[in-house]
Amino acid sequence: MILILALILLALLIFGPQFYVRHVMSKYSGQHERLPGSGGELARHLLDRFELKTVIVEVTEHGDHYDPITRAVRLSRENLEGRSLTAIAVATHEVGHALQHAEGDAMFEVRSRMIRVATLAEKAGAIAMLAIPVLALLSRSPVLGLVTLLVALASFLSATLVHLVTLPVEWDASFGRALPILTRGEYINKGETRAVKRILRAAALTYVAASLTSLLNLGRWISILRR
């Protein structure tokens, strides 16, 4: 019974944030004729307003994000072209990251470096996982296999931890920047504020949800190696 409860809690921990993010984004994705422009148009307007004309806005197939290397706000097609509360809130959240970058926000800079390191670590972990059976067979040393496994585990966990510890940066992009921009600039009305807050909260939790589900990849690798 305790094991079943533990598994249920683990499932809620891993899938709960992801389900919440998807549910909120979908709930407020309906088109609003009242809105004067799309998410992409609002992003371009805000970047120009804050004198970030060199930052581009483009479509992506890999999730909404701001790329500090190419200085690009990338939005999914539905958020780039859509006139929904989700589209404008997500677009403004990503513009919030562009503002953090432009202002030299210390936490944003740390986050960017950590994510680059975590990405490399995750790739190294995948290589290490693939190398374990080969090294164990060639060396016939269980110690070498164990060390390689520990390195792989550490690399996967580092990627998860990076996303968790950078939550304050996401929270600032949503509530320190995007929400004041949308409310003070009257891009949304008072009746829409509660919904936009929920969307911005979901936007801030996107990386947390992704990092938790990445633990499943680690579980899959372990199950493969046990066969």
pLDDT along the chain (227 residues), means of 10: 66 72 93 89 97 97 93 97 96 97 92 75 67 64 64 70 80 96 94 96 83 61 53
66, 99 in Cβ contact below 8 A?
A: no
Per-residue pLDDT of 48-94, as tens digits, reads: 999 999 999 999 998 899 999 999 999 999 999 999 999 999 999 99
Counted domains in the chain: 1
Let me know if 170 is a catalytic residue: no
Strand-pairing partners, residue 66, are 73
pLDDT number for residue 130? 67
Residue with tokens 């390195």: 151
Q: What is the largest CA-CA distance in the chain?
A: 69
- Tell me the Cα Rg of the chain: 21
Annotated active-site residue in 58, 61, 94, 103: 94
What pLDDT does residue 42 have? Answer: 97
Q: What is the pLDDT of residue 173?
A: 96
Q: How many CB atoms lie within 10 A of CB 106?
A: 10
Q: Which amino acid is at 38?
A: S
Query: What was the pLDDT predicted at 4?
Result: 72
Would you state the pLDDT for residue 10? 58
Q: Which two tokens stand for residue 109?
A: 């800079």
The CA–CA distances, whole Å, from 18 to 97, 109, 130, 210, 214 equal: 21, 26, 28, 7, 11
Per-residue model confidence (pLDDT) at position 139:
64
**Is 188 strand, coil or helix?**
coil
Q: H or E stretch including 23?
A: helix 2-27
Give just the sign of the alpha carbon dihedral 201, 202, 205, 206: negative
pLDDT of amino acid 110 = 86
The pLDDT score that the predictor gives to residue 172 is: 96
Q: Which tokens sit at 184?
A: 């003070």
CA–CA gap between residue 172 and residue 96 (Å, rounded): 8
Q: CA separation (Å) from 174 to 87, 137, 204, 206, 224?
A: 14, 50, 6, 12, 39
Asked if residue 193 lies in contact with residue 112, where contact means CB atoms within 8 angstroms, the answer is no
Q: Which is nearest to 75 in space by CA: 150, 84, 168? A: 84
Structural domain of residue 12, as residue ranges? Answer: 2-226
Kindly state the tokens that stand for 75: 């939005």
- Token code pair at residue 83: 């006139």
